[in-house]
Amino acid sequence: MSAPLRVAMIGHGFMGAAHSVGWRQAPAAFTLPAQPVMSTLVGRNAEAAGEAAARWGWQEAASDWREVIERDDIDIVDIVTPGDSHAEIAVAALAAGKHVLCEKPLANSVAEAQLMADAATRAAASGIRSMVGFTYRRVPAATLMRDMIAEGRIGSIRQVRASYRQDWLADADTPMTWRLDKDRAGSGALGDIGAHAIDMCQFVTGQSLRSVSGIVETLVEERPLLGESVGLGGTAGDGRGRVTVDDVALFSARLDSGALASFEATRFATGRKNALEIEVSGERGALHWNLEDMNALNFYDATKDAGEQGFTRILVTEPQHPYLSGWWPAGHMLGYEHGFSHQVKDFVEAIAAGAQPTPSFDDGLHVQRVLDAVERSAADRSAWTEV
């Protein structure tokens, strides 16, 4: 095993908890070529950062990310802050010679994402690696779907249907959060969860989105201000903040091959808690996966006799399935948190091998361009907009 890789995570909250599990569990589940060390958790509020560090197993807490990334005892910077700070932190960390893992979407704009991708290219010349955290592509069933498509199991791709549906904003009295402020989040359902659907489509098909036609809509334009949300676009005295991002995004797209794809991203799908779903139809069959049934992959083999056709449910828990060799006996399920361990595994292995991990910042930049094209299409009411 090579020298330890000492990690500083900037930001905490929900994603900080998930990433902490990944850094802690990956070395136990897999034999890694280098040992990640959970060195420093960084947060603006020193007291809150200290509490999070103690709870999640970090050695120490700090409140100034600029000082931390300049330290000689930090090798990796993991960015889990809101999107408005991704570019500044990532560019500075790469310039300081740190490997960088950044949560998705890569940035809040194409211009910021381009700066990050350019910085990553410069750093790569010195052996510094960077990766964007589209974690769902590391769910074993989703990876198996990619592998089966690449093997030609469904033949040439004809159509893709991808969606990410949640309902946590369906109640109009749900309070404001930074995710509803365009300055902090960049966009709403489109960038927050639609980015996952875009990446999943490109990951499993091996193709890129080249043109789009879309619509975005804000269904609830004001929400109550509570606690930390008080500074988010409120009007003095009324206790309500203005929602400045989309609640729903719907768009069509064309892939490199000319195949059609349809996308939906919404946080108003009543009854859908975390339904990232993708179905790929090909000339010889189809594959379907849903995050709400994350350990299963549904496969339709159109080459079978008509009397035997129908979707077959594959339980993706066998040791030969992607990533499963590090976990439990066959039939024992994995959960949401395991994708973050797989992310750490892949990132550490790429760093140790001197290879470019995926998805790269260039991949994240392309997703950002798709998001931008959807917004431009919706604003212009144009039939098709090039990515």
Residue 386 inside a domain? The answer is no
Residue 385 inside a domain? The answer is no
CATH number at residue 79: 3.40.50.720
pLDDT at 237: 47
What digits encode the pLDDT tens for the residues 366-376? 999 999 999 99
**Looking at the predicted structure, is the pLDDT value of residue 152 above 90?**
yes
**Looking at the predicted structure, is the pLDDT value of residue 231 above 70?**
no
Asked if 164 and 312 sit in the same domain, the reply is yes
Asked if 129 and 150 sit in the same domain, the reply is no
What digits encode the pLDDT tens for the residues 303-350? 999 999 999 999 999 999 999 999 999 999 999 999 999 999 999 999
Last residue of a domain, one of 121, 136, 151: 136
Asked if 21 and 167 sit in the same domain, the reply is no
**Looking at the predicted structure, is the pLDDT value of residue 1 above 80?**
no
Last residue of a domain, one of 111, 136, 161: 136
Asked if 159 and 275 sit in the same domain, the reply is yes
What digits encode the pLDDT tens for the residues 79-93? 999 999 999 999 999
pLDDT at 236: 41
Residue 349 inside a domain? The answer is yes
Q: Per-residue pLDDT averaged across 123-138, rounded?
A: 98
Last residue of a domain, one of 94, 120, 136: 136
CATH number at residue 202: 3.30.360.10
Domain count, the chain: 2
Asked if 217 and 320 sit in the same domain, the reply is yes
Asked if 110 and 18 sit in the same domain, the reply is yes
What token pair was written down for 242? 């203005």
Asked if 201 and 261 sit in the same domain, the reply is yes
pLDDT at 229: 59
Rounded CA-CA distance 229/179 in Å is: 10
Asked if 270 and 291 sit in the same domain, the reply is yes
Query: 161 phi and psi, to 5 degrees?
Result: -125, 120
Asked if 179 and 284 sit in the same domain, the reply is yes
Q: Please state the pTM of the whole predicted model.
A: 0.95
Give 61's strand partners: 41
Asked if 131 and 143 sit in the same domain, the reply is no
**Looking at the predicted structure, is the pLDDT value of residue 73 above 50?**
yes
User: What angle do the packed helices 14-29 and 338-353 form, to 10 degrees?
Assistant: 60
For 246, the domain range is 137-357+366-380
Asked if 121 and 146 sit in the same domain, the reply is no
Asked if 200 and 151 sit in the same domain, the reply is yes
Handedness of CA 136, 372, 384, 382 (dihedral sign): positive
Query: 383 phi and psi, to 5 degrees?
Result: -65, -50
**Looking at the predicted structure, is the pLDDT value of residue 234 above 70?**
no
